[in-house]
Amino acid sequence: MPFPPDAPLPQTPPQGQGRLPLHGLTVLVVDDSRFTCDALRLILQRAGARLRRAESLEIARLHLAFHRPDLAIVDLGLPDGRGQDLIAELALEGLPVLGLSGDPEGRETALDAGATGFLEKPIGSVAALVRLIRQLATGAGPLERGQDTAPPPADPMALRDDLVRASGLIAGSGDPGYAQSFLRSLARAAGDPALEAAAQDIRTAFDRAKLVRMIEDRVASLGSMA
């Protein structure tokens, strides 16, 4: 499913404030999770950046053939290949890249591929992320440290869409490793330890059926919020 168009950027900073810290910057996010992309969209656009999104390596490379962002954020687990391969390509071109994964062990993989830094799902400090992007993309000195805030809540319907996709992946005949990785990362980003634990141990058809029922329960709960 294609991602929806970017929302309009804020035209002016709030009254009494200076220019937004990421004003004028374009960030490419390569991630197949709408939930994660929505969370990053809220953070980056509120800081003044423009977000471009790609849910696969193929779409990312097509975009990069015509446009050069100021920084890229690349998930390691993508439906058509390894995110670290794209990280290595972009690093060779001198583009700042942040690796992204719901697995903390992905840090070493991302850095070995040439990433300048690593983000673990869920995103923790908004202020630290904005400072890091600004420094890497512009070379500017650090911002004055203000009071940090928790990431804004992402759209629950984006989470619902990802859960529906995860259910199809788990029940389907595609790559079981990718399906498991996608669900584990989504559960971690959504703060759902029970679902994350269930996704770590899929051995039989019964396990898959049980996991699909868990996902369907969460989809139904989110649907009642619409």
Q: Tell me which of 59-63, 90-94, 153-157, 176-180 is least confident.
A: 153-157
Determine the Cα–Cα distance for residues 91 and 172; give it in Å rounded to an integer.
35
> Domains of the chain (ranges plus CATH)?
26-138 (3.40.50.2300), 156-223 (no CATH)
pLDDT for 10 equals 43
Residue 144: its pLDDT value, please?
52
62 or 147: whose pLDDT is higher?
62
Neighbouring CB atoms inside 10 A of 115's CB total: 27
Helices (H), the chain: 34-46, 57-64, 83-92, 106-113, 126-138, 156-171, 176-189, 193-200, 205-223
User: 3-class DSSP state for residue 98?
Assistant: strand
Return the SS3 of 106.
helix
Q: Give the global pTM.
A: 0.85
